[in-house]
Amino acid sequence: MPSVLSVEEIKKRIPHRFPFLLVDEVTQVDYLPEVVGSKILALKNISAEDPVFKGHFPGKPIFPGVLIIEALAQSMGVLMSFDKKPHSVPLLGRIKNAKFKSLVLPGDQLVLSSVIIKYRKPNVLGLTKAFVNDKLVAEAELLCHLK
């Protein structure tokens, strides 16, 4: 899948930076003027060199579930950057029905999928899912708002 947005283009849309920028590229954006139904597909490559693995867990590295949720929230922030005013910051307001289905390990590639299911400015509710090799590894409803 070719990139729609490179990491440099992503950095123009959300304020996160290494080591906390958790979206490596965007492969699909379908932004709708009515916002509801807009969707994004993005990628996060899980590297064995990621600093998180120094402590989570030595000898048995597992990518933390909270960082999967953060990656999903960042992908929603990228999606909402198509609607927001310049320099606004997407903030995570609520996590609902989070489920973690499988471990994410070094060498995995997370596919991050978000669909906007409700929009009332400045609040955005998204149904988000993360996959590795087409297998669902995490899902949650995320409420974000633009500040």
User: Catalytic amino acids?
Assistant: 56
CB–CB of 117/36 below 8 Å? yes
Give me 72's structure tokens. Answer: 């999903």
- Beta-carbon count within 10 A of 93 CB: 14
Picking from 138, 116, 112, 111, the residue whose alpha carbon sits closest to that of residue 127 is 116
> Which alpha helices (H) appear in the chain, and where do they start and end?
7-11, 65-80
Radius of gyration in angstroms for the set of CA atoms belonging to the chain, rounded to a whole number: 15
CB–CB of 114/79 below 8 Å? yes
